[in-house]
Amino acid sequence: MGTSTIIMDERAALIRLFSWLSPAFPIGGFAYSQGLETAIAEGRVKDSGQLAEWISGQIHCGSLHTDAYFLAIAARAVTSGDWETLAEANSLCLALQMSSERDKETREQAKSFLEAASAWPTVTPNELNAAFERPMALPIAFGAKAGLQGVSPEAGVAGYANSVVAQQISVGVRLIPLGQTAGLVILASLEAKIAQLSTEALSAQLDDISSLSYGTDIASLRHEDLNVRIFRS
C-alpha cells in the first residue's frame, strides 16, 4: 500500500533540504564528535591528512556509510508505504549504535529533527505518525521526512552525508586545531566519495547493512572516560 507525498519541483525540494541541513537547524549536531574527540585527545588524529583519512573511513565502511543506507531505505519505505521495512530499519539502526553516547545522540537528534521539521506540515499516514512517536534513529527520521516531503533519496543522502562530514571537519578544526581553509580543502577532497555513497545508497537493502570501523567504535566507547570533554560523544 502506497502513501501520498508532497509533489514539489526539484528547486523547491532542494531549498527545503538545505533548510533541514542548515547549521542553524535546531537538532544540536554541533555538540557531538562521534568519537573523533577521543582520537584527537589520544594523538591518533593530529593533522589534516589524518582527519581526512578518519572521515573517509566513515564514508567507506563506517557509521556514515550505514547511516546513508538507512536513510535511503527509510525514504523508499515511506514513499511506498512499507511500514514493516521502516520499523525493521529503525530497530536495526538503533541496535547498531556502538555506545550509550552514540545511542543517545541519534535518538535525541531524531526527536529534535522531527520537532523542527514540523514547521513544514503535511498530511501524514497514521502508521508513520505512530512510528514518529516511538524512539527513532536520526537517519531513519531524516529519510522518512525526506520521503514524505518529496525530497529525492539521492539528494537526501548526499546532503545528509555532506553535512555530517562538515561537522566532523569542524571538530578537527577546533580541537587539532586546523585552519578554516585546511578544513575546506578536506571537504572539497571528499565530494566524489560523498557522491558515490549517495548513488550506492539508492539501491541499498537491509541485507546490505554492514560496517568495519573498529577504531571509531572503540573511540566512541572510550569517550565517556575522557577527563576533559568538549563534545557529548
Per-residue pLDDT of 198-209, as tens digits, reads 999 999 999 999
Report the amino acid identity of residue 192.
A
Contact 161, 130 (CB under 8 A): no
pLDDT, position 9: 76
Residue 176 maps to a domain: yes
Tally of CB atoms within 10 A around 152: 19
Summarised one tens digit per residue, pLDDT across range 170-194 is 999 999 999 999 999 999 999 999 9
For residue 6, pLDDT beyond 80: no
Mean pLDDT lowest among 46-50, 84-88, 159-163, 209-213? 209-213
Per-residue model confidence (pLDDT) at position 203: 96
233 in a domain, yes or no? no
Q: Assess if residue 14 is contained within a domain.
A: no
pTM: 0.94
pLDDT at 38 over 60: yes
Question: What distance in Å separates the CA atoms of residue 168 and residue 171, rounded to the nearest whole number?
Answer: 5
Specify the CATH number for the domain of residue 212. Answer: 1.10.4190.10
3-state secondary structure 42-79: CCCCCCHHHHHHHHHHHHHHCHHHHHHHHHHHHHHHHH
Q: Which of 144, 151, 4, 149 is nearest to 78 (CA)?
A: 144
Residue 213 predicted with pLDDT over 60: yes
> Does the residue 130 lie in any domain?
yes
Share of the chain above pLDDT 90, in %: 89
Domain count, the chain: 1
Per residue in 114-146, pLDDT (tens digit) is 999 999 988 999 999 999 999 999 999 999 999
pLDDT at residue number 4: 47
Selection from 41, 44, 29, 94 nearest residue 214 by Cα: 44
pLDDT digits (tens, 9 = 90+) for 73-99: 999 999 999 999 999 999 999 999 999
Residue 13: the pLDDT is 84
- Structural domain contains residue 27: no
Task: Residue 163: give the domain boundaries.
Answer: 41-225
pLDDT 10s digits, 95-111: 999 999 999 999 999 99
Is there a domain that residue 120 lies in?
A: yes
Look at residue 101 and tell me if it is in a domain.
yes
Percent of the chain with pLDDT over 70: 97
Domain-located, residue 174:
yes
